[in-house]
Structure 1
Amino acid sequence: MLKFVKNHMESIDGIANYPMISLMIFFVFFVLLFWWVFTATKEHIKEMGELPLDNNDQQNKL
């Protein structure tokens, strides 16, 4: 089975590009994530951190 998959993959033109594309997607995602983390305001981070604790307030409004 593995031999079939290896032979099949070798027959696909440009197969070597896919690992590079996936690496670039991975790298860009984490660069954007780090950029968002370092530029997020402290108020926003505090508000998001307190969301699980605010569940009681929302139940009282219903």
Structure 2
Amino acid sequence: MYKNVLQAIDGIEIYPLISFTIFFVFFLGLIVYVILMDKKYVKAMSAIACENETEDTTFEGLKQ
């Protein structure tokens, strides 16, 4: 039933192409962004989780 409804709409065949193009361009851009990222920044951000935390990072500590 739904197939017949969608086939009756003029120009409906362009929407899957637009969706695929947006999907492909987004992930291609994301891959390029990751490849071109500053490696020092990535290394510094990955080391944050391993550092010994002595500061109060709770919500109450941020109010000061």
Q: TM-score, normalised by structure 1?
A: 0.72
User: For 1:1-38, what per-residue CA distance to the aligned partner results, in whole angstroms no more than 9, with x for missing partners?
Assistant: xxx20111011111100110011011101110111011
- Residue segments in structure 2 that go unaligned for 5+ positions in a row: none
Q: 1:7/1:55 Cα in 2 relative to 1: closer, same or farther (>3 Å)?
A: farther
Equivalent position of 1:14 in the other structure: 11
- Residue segments in structure 1 that go unaligned for 5+ positions in a row: none
Q: Which has the higher helix share?
A: 1
State the Cα RMSD in Å: 2.4
